[in-house]
Amino acid sequence: MISHLYILFFFFVTIRASSYLHPVIKCPEEDSIRKCLDQYHIKGPVNFRNNTVAYNKDLNFEYNLRVIHFPVAFVHPIDVFDVQNAIKCAVKLNFPIVARSGGHSYEGYGLGDKDCSLVVDLETLNKIIIDIASQTAIVETGNKLESLYYETNRHGFAFPAGVCPYVGVGGHITGGGVGHLNRIFGLSSDNVLDAQIVLANGTIINSAKKYPELFWAIRGAGNAGYGIITTLTLRIYPIQKIATRVALLYDFDQTPLVISVMNQLGGNLHRNLTVLIRISSDAPTTVEGIYLGSANESQPYLQEFIKLSKPKSITYFENDLYSILTEGKESTKTPGFYKVKSFFIDSTGLSYEGIKYFMSFTKSIKCAVNNHVMLLNGGKVNDIRRNETAFIHRDN
Residue 34: pLDDT band by 50, 70, 90 thresholds? very high
- Provide the 10 A C-beta neighbour count for residue 324: 21
pLDDT in the model for residue 46: 98
- Please count the CA atoms within 13 angstroms of the CA of 168 that sit on its side-chain side: 29
pLDDT at residue number 383: 93
d(CA 199, CA 209): 15
Which domains, from first to last, does the chain contain?
7-14+242-319+337-382 (3.40.462.20), 30-121 (3.30.465.10), 128-238 (3.30.465.10)
- pLDDT tens digit sequence for 164-213: 998 999 999 999 999 999 999 999 999 999 999 999 999 999 999 999 99
**What is the C-alpha to C-alpha distance for residues 198 and 81, in angstroms, rounded to an integer?**
9
pLDDT tens per residue across span 42-51:
999 999 999 9
Is it the case that residue 4 has pLDDT exceeding 50?
no
With CA atoms as reference, report the closest residue to 343 among 329, 352, 354, 335. Answer: 354
Q: How high is the pLDDT of residue 1?
A: 32
Question: For the chain, what is the mean pLDDT?
Answer: 90
What pLDDT does 281 receive? 81
Q: What is the pTM of this model?
A: 0.93
pLDDT on residue 343? 85
